[in-house]
């Protein structure tokens, strides 16, 4: 354990259990039974089932650190934050915090809808321990940050969700908190307000304020926080740097998606003498789930979804390859290299030079409707750009480009293939990572995507600058010119 003086939040063996009753009468029966059995010293019977919203959670957040909490809906994120803020009492374990806590949890929590915005500012400030004089001194700053104009004098029941979060955030950050807790609320704000909020969060962190941040936006979590905790079904399944934890989160989502499609297969596949799990090729599908003739590829191959449902192929779980991979494994990224304009391997470029990225992959089953894509991230892990063959296919469909449609190509089981991506380097000096992915797209518009193989750290390159002949500042070259 770290020194107590340096720890803002300490959570030990934390758990929250709810008693679930089938109806109100049973709850009353339990209360009466508890009282009667307690009077005679006996253990009462249980007429309820237990639901552990959170169990066996433990971590520490040092002073001044930005710490993220991520997970799917229902994973226990909000319960954890409510336990830390004292809104809920734990069933087991303990929470220790040091300093004043400002929390932006459920939208509008702590506000009286009949009071005006001004009255709610004073009400919340006093609940947070400020005197009226202290609120008076901070009021102009709160009003300026919220920027809701004359609505400040109107009942907040007339506010939009965006106005509500503006006022709530403005109050919380102006009370000089030692710990700031934010649970998804900023998602309803407009882009300009979010920019101001994150700038304020960064300044608070620089001033030594501890940030506990929950969001479904993975890039925001990666940018705002240094470490993160991944929750799933009430338990901690990963904790580490935000990049590592987000990788585990993406892998978890992919596994859940695979289980979902497997459950659909179990409910719909009719097996004639063969267990779908034994890899046999004679599994028959009922007519209701067989593809129409129009849905078959030109060569008559069965679409990948039906091959997978039939259990007719053996594939690799991409998450077992290494800790940078995840996906169902029906196709694998084999190599990613960066090339210069002449086609030679190169890992150093200058702004204005052509960059060519080659992605080699293998189909492990008969495939169609694929998308080969990449993402470029900078040294800080921020997504700089993402693009794929499907993006170009969509341009072709819209009549903006004349090119073959990659989405319509078919790949045979065991086939090796590759795709090239080219661009003129607009990037500022720095170190960049390439992530590569192969996905199956049920529709040619990103609306029905299944990741077959996603690979982080697939390749790296650097951008240098000629300080004397071609110089600019910042992350991107806007190709600016001047006239006079």
Quick: pLDDT tens for 427-470.
999 899 999 999 999 999 988 888 999 998 899 999 998 878 88
In 3D, which of 129, 124, 154, 127 has the Cα closest to residue 139? Answer: 124
| pLDDT (0 to 100) of residue 68 | 92
Coil, strand or helix at 140: helix
| pLDDT (0 to 100) of residue 260 | 62
Quick: pLDDT tens for 351-407.
999 999 999 999 999 999 999 999 999 887 788 999 999 999 999 999 999 999 999
Indicate the DSSP class of residue 23. S
Identify the band that residue 262 occupies on the pLDDT scale cut at 50, 70 and 90: low
Instruction: Estimate the crossing angle of helix 191-206 against helix 161-173, to 10 degrees.
Output: 20
**Strand bridging mode 383-388 / 370-377:** antiparallel
Coil, strand or helix at 434: strand
> In angstroms, rounded to a whole number, what is the distance separating the alpha carbons of residues 424 and 140?
48
Non-local (6+) Cβ contacts of 227 within 8 A are 65, 67, 68, 239, 240, 241, 242, 245
In 3D, which of 447, 440, 407, 458 has the Cα closest to residue 330? Answer: 440
Domains of the chain with bracketed CATH: 4-13+54-247 (3.40.50.300), 315-463 (2.70.50.60)
Quick: pLDDT tens for 271-313.
333 233 333 333 332 332 223 333 323 333 444 444 444 444 4
For residue 482, pLDDT over 90 is answered with yes
Supply angle C-alpha 218, 74, 62, rounded to 5: 55
Quick: pLDDT tens for 90-135.
999 999 999 888 887 765 567 888 899 899 899 888 877 788 898 8
The answer to whether 207 and 179 have CB atoms below 8 angstroms apart is no
> In angstroms, rounded to a whole number, what is the distance separating the alpha carbons of residues 225 and 217?
12
Report, as an integer, the average pLDDT of 302-328: 61
| Structure tokens, 172 | 């919380």
The answer to whether 401 and 237 have CB atoms below 8 angstroms apart is no
């Amino acid at each position: 354990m770290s020194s107590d003086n340096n720890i803002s939040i300490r959570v030990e063996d934390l758990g929250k259990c709810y008693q679930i009753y089938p109806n109100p009468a049973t709850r009353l029966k339990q209360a009466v039974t508890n009282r009667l059995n307690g009077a005679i010293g006996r253990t009462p019977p249980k007429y309820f089932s237990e639901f552990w919203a959170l169990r066996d959670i433990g971590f520490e957040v040092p002073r001044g650190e930005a710490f993220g909490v991520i997970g799917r809906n229902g994973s226990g994120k909000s319960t954890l934050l409510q336990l830390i803020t004292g809104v809920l009492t734990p069933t087991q374990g303990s929470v220790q915090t040091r300093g004043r806590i400002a929390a932006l949890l459920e939208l509008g929590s702590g506000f009286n809808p009949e009071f005006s915005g001004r009255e709610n500012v004073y009400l919340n400030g006093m609940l947070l321990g400020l005197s009226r004089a202290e609120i008076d001194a901070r009021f102009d700053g709160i009003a300026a940050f919220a920027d809701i104009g004359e609505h400040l004098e109107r009942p907040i029941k007339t506010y939009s969700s965006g106005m509500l979060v503006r006022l709530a955030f403005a109050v919380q950050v102006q009370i000089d908190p030692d710990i700031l807790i934010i649970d998804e609320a900023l998602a309803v704000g407009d882009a300009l307000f979010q920019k101001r909020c994150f700038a304020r969060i960064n300044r608070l962190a620089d001033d030594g304020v501890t940030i506990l941040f929950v969001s479904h936006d993975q890039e925001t979590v990666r940018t705002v926080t240094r470490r993160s905790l991944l929750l799933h079904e009430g338990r901690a399944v990963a904790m580490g740097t935000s990049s590592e934890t987000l990788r585990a989160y993406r892998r978890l989502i992919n596994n859940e998606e695979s289980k979902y499609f497997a459950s659909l297969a179990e409910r719909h596949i009719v097996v004639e003498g063969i267990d779908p799990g034994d890899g046999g090729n004679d599994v028959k599908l009922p007519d209701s789930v067989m593809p129409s003739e129009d849905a078959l590829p030109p060569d008559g191959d069965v679409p990948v979804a039906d091959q997978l449902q039939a259990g007719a192929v053996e594939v690799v779980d991409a998450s077992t390859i290494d800790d940078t991979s995840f996906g169902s494994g029906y196709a694998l990224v084999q190599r990613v290299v960066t090339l210069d304009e002449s086609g030679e391997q190169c890992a150093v470029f200058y702004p204005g030079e052509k960059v060519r990225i080659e992605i080699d992959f293998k189909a492990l089953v008969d495939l169609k409707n694929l998308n080969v894509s990449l993402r470029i991230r900078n040294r800080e892990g921020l997504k700089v750009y993402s693009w794929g063959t499907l993006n170009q296919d969509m341009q072709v469909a819209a009549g903006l480009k004349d090119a073959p449609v990659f989405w319509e190509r078919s790949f045979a089981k065991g086939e090796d293939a590759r795709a090239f991506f080219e661009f003129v380097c607009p990037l500022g000096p720095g170190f960049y990572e390439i992530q590569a992915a192969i996905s199956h797209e049920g529709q040619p518009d990103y609306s029905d995507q299944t990741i077959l193989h996603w690979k982080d750290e697939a390749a790296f390159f650097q951008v240098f600058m000629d300080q004397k002949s071609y110089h600019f500042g910042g992350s991107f070259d806007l190709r600016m010119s001047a006239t006079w």
